[in-house]
Every structure is written in C-alpha cells, then in structure tokens.
Amino acid sequence: MAKRGIVVVSGASAGIGRATARRFAKDGWRVAVFARGVDGLEGAVRDIEAAGGEAMAIPLDVADESALEAAADRVEREWGPIDVWINNAMVTAYCQFMDMSPQDFRRATEVTYFGSVWGIRAALKRMLPRDRGTIVQVGSALAYRSIPLQSAYCGAKSALRGFIDSLRSELIHNKSGVHLTMVQLSAFNTPQFDWGKTCIPKQPQPVPPIFQPEVAAEGIHYAATHRRRELWVGWPAVKAILATRMIPGILDRILARQGYSGQHTDEPLPPGRKDNLYEPVPGDHGAHGRFDARSKPASIQLVLDMNRTLIFAGAALLAGLGGGVALARRLK
C-alpha cells in the first residue's frame, strides 16, 4: 500500500482551510487540522473522513508559538514526517485604522502574521534536517494592493510576502530541498464575513467578483504538489497585482472612492453578532459563507495557470505547424 502523504492545514475549521482539508482528503492524504474552534474542527474531521482521508484535529491558537510546536510534535510522533505544511489561519477587522484599538490591531497581526511565521518555523525545524518538504503560505492579492478598512490584515499579508521572499533566498543559499511557496487569492465566499470584527453597522462582504472556497483549495493543492514560486488565483488577483505595479497612485484614489462601499452590503448587522478576533464563534460554520448565489464555482484563470506548460507547448506546436504550412506553400 502506498504511503499516505501527511499535510498540516491551519485555520481548517471553516472557509478556505476547511475546503483545502477536504481537497487533500480526496486524494487520500492524512490531514492534520489546526484551529481554535472545536465545533468546526469536529466538522472538518467528518469531512476529511467522508472524502477518504485520515484526520487529526488539534485545537490551538496559531499566535501561540509553543502550541504550534507541540502540535507539530504530535503529528510527527503519531503519523510520521510532515510532507506539506499550509498556513491559512487569519483574522481581520473591518475598521478604519484610527477606529481600531491598539489591542485589536496587535491581535490581528499576531494571528495573521506571527501565526504564519511560527507555523513556518515549526515546519522548517522538522523539514530542514530531512532536506525535503513543502510549505504553502496562503496569501492574498492584498499582500500587493492594500485596501481601506483592513489595514491590519493588509499589513500582515504584505509583511508575510516580505518575510517569505527573504526566507526563500536563505533556503536557496543553503541549497535546501525544502520548497516555500505563496498562493495569492482573490475574494472568496467564506464565513469570515459573518464573524470578522467590524466598525461598520452593515454586513461585510468580499469585494466582488466572488469565488467559492473550493477554487482556492484547488490552487493551494496545486501549489503544494508542484514547484511553483507563487500562484495567483482568480483574474481579480492578477489584475490587482499587475495594476499596483503600473498605476499605484491611481488605484489609491479609486479605492478611496470605491473601497468602502465594496466591502459591505446594505444589510444591517444582525443583533448580537459575535466576532472571532479573540475567541472562536461557536458552531460548525463549514466552508461556505452567505454569498453562494453570487459566487463563481471555477476560475478560468486558475485552470490556464495550472496548465500553462501544456498551453505553451500547444501554442508552440500550432505556431510550428503554421510555419510549416506556410513554407510548404512557398515551395510549391
């Protein structure tokens, strides 16, 4: 019997992490899921086992470096060497910077930035001596193009990109066989918008167009199993990243006009709404958020990107055939 791959997914109780855990389970992997919410972790275990994988759920806060270290030890002690480590856990707050308390800003940074840094450190501690393994950092187009109302989250994602570029160069310098990659995402339909802390009295939403979390999971799975430096998922991510390189000042002004209303609906917040900045919201919230009717189940851009070698080869073949036909006509 072939050895099952072993993958760690943080932030796997809901949203993109939950969909990613299912995607690996579909291929028969052993999937260790980390998150704070016990209800969601139990749901993730059921999903993984139903999809054909083997599950291990470990409740923890990724901002706690010692908890991550202990969890990595447990995975390797009970299952064996970790093949893939996926950092996905995050929190955010939909607030203008000056409306956020320093404590809230620090908390968002500790989870979204330091939680990934500590995850990478735990993975490298085990992968470097073996000289193999893959680390996938789930990022966002917001790592390149920040938007208003999410300064803490955008700052953390941008910092992660800088950190990973530095670390990648160190791995190359040391001729390490460990592969480090980032996946930069567009907007996705996850429960995040029902539990992210907000200073706006209206329902937060992903900035349209919106994709289903399974699209992100497919991109993350591909990045984990192929040697790609970085993968962009969805045309909106591509456009945002490229436009930032070409017209950053114009984007500043466009987002000043449109970046507020695009992040919320006209629906008022429900009474008693809870946020997950410091504590998980009870219940199993699954992978999908409330925007199923508006979300795309696939991304043509991702399909093209994952198959670009075949596409380039096909284009070259067609060009060669066309050149051959033209030459044959001239020789007649």
Give the C-alpha separation, 162 to 152, whole Å: 15
Task: Read off the amino acid at residue 46.
Answer: R
What residues contact residue 3 under an 8 Å CB cut-off, 6+ apart? Answer: none
**Is the domain of 245 the same as that of 312?**
no
Q: What is the pLDDT of residue 152?
A: 98
**Is the domain of 279 the same as that of 310?**
no
Q: What is the pLDDT of residue 320?
A: 54
Q: What is the pLDDT of residue 330?
A: 59
Radius of gyration from C-alpha coordinates of the chain: 21
**Is the domain of 329 the same as that of 280?**
no
Q: What is the pLDDT of residue 318?
A: 53
> What phi, psi does 117 have (nearest 5°)?
-60, -45
Q: What is the pLDDT of residue 4?
A: 87
What residues contact residue 10 under an 8 Å CB cut-off, 6+ apart? Answer: 17, 34, 35, 62, 86, 87, 88, 89, 115, 119
| pTM tops 0.75 | yes
- Provide the 8-state DSSP code for 290: S
CATH number of the domain to which 124 belongs: 3.40.50.720
Residue 1 belongs to a domain:
no
**Is the domain of 312 the same as that of 182?**
no
**Is the domain of 237 the same as that of 328?**
no
Residue 177 belongs to a domain:
yes
Element at 102 (helix H, strand E): helix 102-109
**Is the domain of 167 the same as that of 190?**
yes
Residue-range definition of the domain harbouring residue 317: 302-332
Q: How many domains does the chain have?
A: 2
Give the mean pLDDT per block of 10 residues along the chain (332 residues).
86 98 98 98 98 98 98 98 98 97 98 98 98 98 97 98 98 98 98 96 95 98 97 96 96 96 94 96 97 96 86 54 53 58
Q: Which residues pair with 146 in a beta bridge?
A: none
Q: What is the pLDDT of residue 327?
A: 46
What residues contact residue 49 under an 8 Å CB cut-off, 6+ apart? Answer: 25, 55
Give the C-alpha separation, 47 to 43, whole Å: 6
Residue 306 belongs to a domain:
yes
**Is the domain of 314 the same as that of 218?**
no
> What phi, psi does 95 have (nearest 5°)?
-150, 145
Distance of CA 3 to the CA centre of its chain: 26
**Is the domain of 81 the same as that of 119?**
yes
What residues contact residue 67 under an 8 Å CB cut-off, 6+ apart? Answer: 60, 61
End-to-end Cα separation, the chain, in angstroms: 60
**Is the domain of 283 the same as that of 156?**
yes
**Is the domain of 123 the same as that of 172?**
yes
Residue 160 belongs to a domain:
yes
Q: What is the pLDDT of residue 169?
A: 98
**Is the domain of 294 the same as that of 322?**
no
**Is the domain of 176 the same as that of 250?**
yes
